[in-house]
Amino acid sequence: MTVSPPAKAGSTRLPRPARRLQLLGAARDVFVAQGYHAAAMDEIAERAGVSKPVLYQHFPGKLELYLALLDASAEELVQIMSNALSSTTDNRERVPATFKAFYDFVAGTGEAFRLVFESDLSNEPAVREKLDRAMYDCADMVSQFIREDAGVSDAEAHLLGMALVGMAQVSARYWLSTGQEIPKDAAEQLIARLAWRGISDWPMTG
């Protein structure tokens, strides 16, 4: 019996959604490692095991590919945040859940957080809009609970929500940069205690 040689990765015909996910995964690896400007479509196609024409069938150019990847990473963060905030009805628990969401995102495989928090293309209007939207959506979810329970105005709630989100993402990135010297759960709880001591000073409404 004659055994056919193994098919090349790019020669296998995949359904379009599966191929798109494959390409996004390869692009994430390249963009995270090299940044937008140094990344090359040739390298992304090679990493995915496809030809450049196949890559361009799905994404007309490097910017469109980057924006699609940024959308996926931002949606992941927003979904993690939504799940965390809806996981309990106790605000004392919601605060640490918020920080855990950011630490989970930063500690996740593939370092996709760098696309959202450390993009080297943040001056591009389309990229800036997506980056700002991700942070705004997270802060808006947090602010809803603050407004309901702390007796503050909409503007104050949004400011406090953005402050908590900012604290979460900056502290999580710093924690990662230290080589995770403090265990992840301990770091989350430490920052959550700091935040709760501040936010809990506002009286509950009703």
Name every residue whose Cβ is closer than 8 Å to that of residue 150 and which is 6 or more positions away in sequence: 157, 160, 199, 202, 203, 204, 205
pLDDT at 201: 65
pLDDT given for residue 92 in this prediction: 82
pLDDT attached to residue 139: 93
pLDDT exceeds cutoff 70 at 203: no
What is the pTM (predicted TM-score) of this model?
0.80
pLDDT value at residue 199: 72
10 pLDDT more than 60: no
* CATH 1.10.10.60 correct for 14-60: yes
Provide the CATH topology of domain 70-199: Tetracycline Repressor; domain 2 (1.10.357)
Quick one: average pLDDT of 15-29?
91
For the chain, the average pLDDT equals: 86
Sort 25 into a burial class: Cβ within 10 Å, 0-12 / 13-18 / 19+. Answer: middle
Q: How far apart are CA 31 and CA 18, in angstroms?
A: 20
Question: Could you state, in order of their start, the residue ranges of all structural domains in the chain?
Answer: 14-60, 70-199
Distances 2 to 5, 9, 11, 55, 91 between C-alpha atoms, Å: 9, 21, 20, 33, 66
